[in-house]
Amino acid sequence: MKIQINGEMVKSEMDFHRELASALGVESFYGYNLDALWDLLSSSVERPICLRWINASTSNRFMGRTYQDIIDILERVRIQDERFGWADKFTYTIDL
């Protein structure tokens, strides 16, 4: 599954959670916080997933530290899947 998040639409942590939940169709059970993001991406969604965050510099400008917290979780999930040796895994790209 390919997911695209547009940084022009993501100016807060909640904006990111809403966009991701909508793209994955998990609005009814997603927790809309950083712990829920880890839970969702690390074990609750079918792979492969390729997340592309375009215009991410806009998100970064508005979100501050929270932006990096999200990136850190994305990277942790990517590393986890790589370490598990899965053929179908989570990947992401950040387009500034």
| pTM for the structure as a whole | 0.96
Yes or no: say if 66 and 60 are a contact pair by the CB < 8 Å rule.
no
The pLDDT assigned to 64 comes to 94
The pLDDT assigned to 38 comes to 98
Yes or no: say if 96 and 56 are a contact pair by the CB < 8 Å rule.
yes
Helix (H, G, I), strand (E, B) or coil at 65: helix
| Mean pLDDT for the stretch of residues 83-93 | 97
> Alpha-carbon distance 16 to 53, whole Å?
10
The CATH number of domain 2-94 is 3.60.120.10: no
Find tokens 């998040």 and name the residue.
Answer: 5
- What single letter denotes the amino acid at residue 42? S
- Residue 9 is encoded by which pair of tokens? 């639409």
Q: What is the pLDDT of residues 16-72, one digit of tens each?
A: 999 999 999 999 999 999 999 999 999 999 999 999 999 999 999 999 999 999 999
| Mean pLDDT for the stretch of residues 89-94 | 98
